[in-house]
Chains A and B, each alone.
Chain A
Amino acid sequence: MPNIAVCYKWVADEADIIVNADLSVNMDRATGKISDYDKNAIEAGVQLKKALLGTLYGVTFSADSGRPSLKDALSRGLDAAVWVHGTLAADADEYVTCRAIAAGLAKLEDVGVIVCGDGSSDNYARQLPSRLGAALDIPVITAVSHFAIEDGKLLVTRKLEDDEEVYLVDLPVVISVLPEACAAPVPGLKSVMAAGKKPVIEVDADAIADRLEAKSKAVSIKGYEMKRKNIRLTGESEEDIVEQLFLALDKEGVF
């Protein structure tokens, strides 16, 4: 009974990010959340467990402040979680993240399928599944829209820009699932209550082999300013407002 591991990320909620007038970025008030598409990945893990009958693990890498992610993720159907955490997360690039997640996966036995989301809500770099496949030297299929187990192998449909491809892949394998592959249900109260009692394996990120260093260096971040006119159309009636809209669109030369 191969086990399943779902990689998920605890990210700052982009809706809480404040971009100041000088384009500096303030994340102090940003609350954490499970990256949106990782919820679909967890549900894909839940579905795979029905076919593979193994244990469903979540594997995540974060700063120590990411502890709240565990209960949230576990309430979504995971049996247990591996939490790799420490100061290493602060300057981690995709290389370091991959190594940290691989260290978490190394705590598990007989993992048949490693599931990732399509991309994280913060960086959306979409590198982890491919890098993990390389680090573990196992096959990778990204952009998966359908999956099933067939004769102990994984049968997947991969949705590219112009083509759909069907692959039959030996386990173990890494897949990244498109959101359309699995809708993510909202966990019920019973699941939320049970989540707190599920086991968590903690891994000290700062003790992973030799101290890891990011391959790419962050130089700067600044807010993106969409320069728009921000004109609020008002009037005595809705007809009047729509009339103003058409006058404006005429002036802009777009109608």
Chain B
Amino acid sequence: MAIYIYSDKKENAAELVSFAKERNKKSVILTLPDQLSEMSALGADLAVSLTGVETIENGLRSLASYLSTQDMELFLVGNTMRGRDVAARIAGYLEVAMSSDVNSITEEDGAFVTERMTYGGRVVAVSRLPLGSAVTIGKGRYPLSQGQSPSEEVPLKSDERLLRRAKTPIVKEAVDLSASKRILSVGMGLAKEEDLGMVREVAAAIGAEVGCSRGVAEEKKWLPLTRFVGISGNVISPDLYLAAGISGQVQHLYGVKDAKIIVGVNNNEKAPIFRSADYGIVGDLYRILPLIREKALARKQ
């Protein structure tokens, strides 16, 4: 039996190989030929190069047929956008169980037990999956494995009903919220877009990047989507997360559950943010934030 691994990201794949090695399981990494050289350097017992398709999506039905002939203990996949689709499509073709984006996966009596967050981070759900199931998991849980793997080719039959016309790198803002130690986030308590100027000044004074709630990015479109914090946006772990004018919905808080210190500023004393903050200030962000800026600047002098 073997754990079959797929990820379109090398680092994620390297961790998944470690998962198998730590349990003394045989690991087989699946990759397209253009990533074979990097994916065969992660220490898996075998690297399978899937040939004959332009994209992995063109070959999923065929890949499922191949996997159905293998002694697959687990289909372990990195939880990128592409990875989730690949895992769920294979689970669909093979009609097996799947657990998405798990926090943990353990073995118990010949089955896999997964733990994952549901209801926007409010509830932890534990599920039991039989052997042969699929699981997606994110980065940062296992060490990076390395080492040369032997490789072999498996030709896939291409599904010509879809054609990739173009692939363009996304030009991202220079900001990487996940790398920032301090984040000042604003929510729907911000009255108008022009007030972001004040927010940026406060952020600069305390050495923070500006983040926001989903509503500010998706509904108001005042800040780019790359800056919104929450379960479907940035999931980050800064030292300091200052949430101003953010009510504190569970989906938002999921994005900062691993922050060291959370500070909430909100004029509604019943706002849920206060239940999830280390320090809470009931007050008007338009009065509190400028005072924070003043204080921070005074300290620098």
Contact = CB atoms under 8 A, between A and B. Distances in A.
Interface of A: 12, 14-15, 17, 19, 25, 37, 93-95, 98, 118-119, 121-135, 137-143, 155, 158-170, 173, 179-180, 183, 214-224, 226, 228-233, 238-239, 241-243, 245-246, 248-249, 252, 254-255
B44 interface: no
B299 interface: yes
Given A160-B80, A180-B218, A127 B100 contact: yes
B92 A230 contact: no
Nearest to A169: B162
Given A142-B81, A254-B261, A162 B64 contact: no
Interface of B: 9, 55, 57, 60-61, 64, 80-82, 84-85, 87-93, 95-101, 113, 117-130, 133, 159, 161-170, 181-182, 206, 218-219, 225, 231-232, 239-240, 249-251, 253, 257, 260-263, 274-283, 287-288, 291-292, 295-296, 299
Given A180-B225, A242-B288, A226 B123 contact: no
Nearest to A127: B88
Contact of B291 (A121, A158, A233, A238): A238
Contacts of B262: 228
A95 B159 CA distance: 23
Contacts of A132: 92
A168 B133 contact: no
Contacts of B81: 142-143, 158-161
A221 B84 contact: no
Contacts of B133: 215-216
B163 A131 contact: no
Contacts of B232: 37, 118-119, 124, 179
B92 A139 contact: no
Contacts of B126: 218-221
B93 A170 contact: no
B278 A223 contact: no
B152 to A, nearest CB: 25
A239 B89 contact: no
A163 B167 CA distance: 6
Given A15-B250, A216-B97, A238-B291, A162 B169 contact: yes
B105 to A, nearest CB: 12
A125 B60 CA distance: 19
A252 B169 CA distance: 40
Contacts of A165: 55, 164, 166-168
B85 A142 contact: yes
B44 to A, nearest CB: 22
Contacts of B64: 134
20 contacts: A93-B97, A94-B98, A98-B92, A121-B251, A123-B100, A123-B118, A123-B125, A124-B101, A134-B92, A139-B162, A160-B81, A161-B9, A167-B165, A215-B133, A218-B125, A229-B278, A230-B274, A231-B280, A241-B281, A254-B239
A140 B85 contact: yes
A64 B117 CA distance: 26
A247 B99 CA distance: 44
B261 A252 contact: yes
Given A163-B167, A180-B225, A130 B277 contact: no
A63 B253 CA distance: 29
Contacts of A127: 84, 88, 91-92, 98, 100
Contacts of B296: 246
Given A142-B84, A226-B276, A166 B260 contact: no
B295 A217 contact: no
A245 B92 contact: no
B119 A122 contact: yes
Contact of B92 (A125, A130, A162, A228): A130
Contacts of B162: 139, 141, 167-170, 173
Given A140-B89, A168-B165, A249 B261 contact: yes
